Structure 1
Amino acid sequence: MSVTIEVPIPDDLIPLLEQKARSAGLPRDEYIRVLISRELRGPRPLDEVLNEFRQEVTASGLSDAELTELFGNARDDARAS
Structure 2
Amino acid sequence: MATTSKTTAKKVVNVIELPIHEVEEKAVIVNIQGWRIRAHFDESLNEKKKESYTLGRTIPVEYTGDIEDIHSIKLLPLKGE
TM-score (norm 1): 0.23
Of structures 1 and 2, the one scoring higher in RCO (CA 8 A, sep 6+) is 2
Q: Which has the higher helix share?
A: 1
Q: Which has the higher strand share?
A: 2
